[in-house]
């Protein structure tokens, strides 16, 4: 499942984001999640950064992966310690192979910084592992968060198409075991199971039960549309506004490749379609509108098909079958995004489960009721 779109505030210039709100709330990092001076000294000794001028915490992305912004005479860098769930070196190297290919193609992402060989016989590495902990160092990418404009939505769709096109040759690569990577949100039996279980604990479990039924019905329609026959390729797995940085209307960086894996590209497209078009307002979720921002949705999908080759032919094209299944996959993604944190914590960030289940049911029903119109406006 994808993570709710979100960029946390930090001591660096804030990167605001818009999309599904973070289910994580704003719990403070525990002492165990911070870098201690001895740990930091060991890690940084393996990189050639020059004279360090300042080090500060960077709250960008998941709080499970603590990050530091390091300023030196050679620029700014981000040091990241992977969460224990996503620290499997084999899987990290798979993600790094994806990032290396993207960087070589000119795709906008923070470049990985290799370690400094400690001996003549030692090679440099993009991943540093010590005492069971995995570290990555990146060049810092500056930018602003998503402003909910159609132009940035278009750029986000175009960037996703570029990601799929550049990484397509890696589709035949042997993906490592699914260690530390969430299962697909499509037809995941855990989603309706946890909703029905949670319904038993609520004074009124009707919303949870209805969402479970809607999820299963949507998954069945997607499977009937031919999901299993669609080709498998590398997907980002977490394409949402919180992982995108912009300068004006231009996408300048896409971050967070922890969930990069092999899958069907429509998983990325549908999740992004929800994240870049959902309408929320500050405050009470009961006041959030049911509908999606159709202008942003259409812009993102048109951006996806805007890449062309020298002859003007689209490099990435959403097939008729994928387009037909898109609203149902958006429903699956939306429901899975709500169910996961509620099942894990009993709440959705600062919001109680009842309100979030209710607003999710309203939004999912709106998508189902308007599915034909949503697909026809893009054809």
Other CB atoms within 10 A of residue 285 CB = 19
The CA distance from 49 to 75, in Å, is 8
Q: Are residues 42 and 129 in the same domain?
A: yes
Residues 222 and 352 occupy one common structural domain: yes
Residue 19 domain-assigned (yes or no): no
Q: Is residue 99 domain-shared with residue 158, that is, in the same domain? A: no
pLDDT given at position 24: 46
When the pLDDT of each residue in the chain is averaged and rounded to a whole number, the result is 86
Give the model's pLDDT for residue 123. Answer: 76
Q: Contact at 8 Å (CB) between 8 and 29?
A: no
CA atoms within 13 A on the CB side of 379: 12
Q: Among residues 106, 139, 172, which one ends one of the domains?
A: 139
**One domain for residues 61 and 133:** yes
Asked if residue 26 is part of any domain, the answer here is no
267 in a structural domain: yes
Last residue of a domain, one of 99, 116, 139: 139
165 part of a folded domain: yes
The total number of structural domains that make up the chain = 2
Query: What is residue 182's predicted lDDT score, i.e. its pLDDT?
Result: 63
Q: Identify the domain containing residue 78 by its residue range.
A: 31-139
* pLDDT band for position 62 (cuts 50, 70, 90): low
Residues 246 and 334 in one domain: yes
Q: Is the pLDDT of residue 165 over 60?
A: yes
Give me the pLDDT at residue 47, please. 95
Same domain, yes or no, for 207 and 90? no
Domain identity same for 82 and 168: no
Residues 121 and 154 in one domain: no
Q: For residue 23, is it within any domain? A: no
Q: Is the pLDDT of residue 348 over 80?
A: no
Q: ∠ CA(125), CA(235), CA(171), 5° rounding?
A: 75
CB neighbourhood size of 308 (10 A): 11
Q: Residue 282: its pLDDT value, please?
A: 85
Q: How confident is the model at residue 209 (pLDDT cuts 50, 70, 90)?
A: very high
Query: What is the domain-level CATH number for residue 88?
Result: 3.30.200.20
**CATH number of the domain that residue 294 is part of:** 3.90.1200.10
- Distance, in Å, from the CA atom of 347 to the CA atom of 340, rounded to the nearest integer, reads 10
User: Is the per-residue pLDDT at 116 higher than 50?
Assistant: yes
What is the tens place of the pLDDT at every residue in 133-162? 889 999 999 999 999 999 999 999 999 999
**Partners of 52 in the beta sheet?**
72
- Identify whether 45 is part of a domain: yes
Q: Which two tokens stand for residue 263?
A: 């899958």
188 within domain boundaries: yes
pLDDT digits (tens, 9 = 90+) for 169-193: 987 766 665 555 567 999 999 999 9
Pair (314, 226) in one structural domain: yes
Lowest mean pLDDT among 58-72, 219-233, 268-282: 58-72
What confidence tier does 10 reach under pLDDT thresholds 50, 70, 90?
very low
Q: Are residues 246 and 350 both part of a single domain?
A: yes
Last residue of a domain, one of 104, 139, 174: 139
67 Cβ partners below 8 Å, 6+ apart? 57, 58, 59, 60, 61, 78, 79, 80, 81
Q: Does a structural domain hold residue 145? A: no
Could you tell me whether strands 233-235 and 133-139 are parallel, antiparallel, or unpaired per DSSP bridges?
unpaired
Other C-beta atoms closer than 10 Å to the C-beta of 30 total 9
pLDDT value of residue 13? 36
- Are 179 and 124 in contact by the 8 Å Cβ rule? The answer is no
Do 242 and 114 fall within a single domain? no
157 and 259 in a single domain? The answer is yes
The band of 343, judged by pLDDT with boundaries at 50, 70 and 90, is: confident
């Amino acid at each position: 499942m994808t993570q709710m779109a979100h960029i946390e505030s930090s001591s660096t210039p804030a990167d605001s984001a818009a999309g599904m709100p973070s289910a994580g709330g704003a719990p403070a990092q525990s002492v165990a999640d911070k870098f201690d001076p001895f740990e930091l000294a060991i890690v940084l000794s393996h990189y050639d950064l020059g004279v360090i001028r300042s080090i500060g915490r960077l709250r960008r992305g998941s709080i499970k992966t603590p990050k530091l912004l390091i300023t030196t005479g050679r620029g700014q860098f981000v040091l990241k310690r992977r969460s224990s769930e996503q620290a499997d070196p084999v899987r990290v190297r798979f993600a790094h192979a994806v990032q290396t290919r993207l960087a070589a193609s000119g795709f906008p992402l923070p470049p990985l910084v290799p370690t400094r060989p400690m001996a003549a016989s030692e090679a440099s590495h993009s991943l540093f592992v010590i005492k069971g902990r995995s570290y990555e160092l990146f060049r810092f990418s500056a930018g602003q968060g998503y402003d909910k404009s159609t132009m940035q939505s278009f750029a986000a769709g175009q960037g996703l198409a570029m990601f799929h096109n550049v990484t397509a040759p890696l589709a035949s690569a042997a993906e490592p075991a699914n260690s530390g990577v969430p299962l697909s949100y499509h037809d995941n039996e855990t989603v309706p199971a946890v909703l029905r279980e949670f319904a038993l604990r609520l004074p009124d479990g009707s919303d949870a039960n209805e969402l479970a039924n809607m999820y299963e019905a949507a998954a069945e329609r997607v499977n009937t549309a031919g999901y299993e026959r669609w080709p498998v390729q590398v997907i980002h797995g977490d394409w949402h506004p919180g992982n995108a940085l912009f300068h004006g209307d231009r996408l300048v960086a896409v971050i967070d490749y922890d969930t990069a894996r092999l899958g069907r590209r429509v998983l990325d497209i549908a999740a992004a379609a929800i994240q870049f078009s959902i309408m929320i307002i500050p405050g009470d979720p009961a006041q959030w509108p049911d509908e999606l921002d159709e202008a942003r949705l259409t812009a993102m999908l048109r951006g996806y098909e805007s890449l062309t080759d020298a002859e003007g032919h689209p490099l990435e094209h959403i097939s008729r079958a994928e387009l037909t299944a898109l609203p149902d996959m958006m429903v699956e993604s939306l429901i899975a995004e709500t169910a996961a944190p509620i099942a894990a914590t009993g709440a959705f960030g600062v919001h109680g489960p009842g309100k979030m289940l209710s607003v999710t049911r309203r939004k999912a029903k709106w998508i189902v009721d308007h599915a034909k119109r949503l697909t026809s406006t893009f054809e």
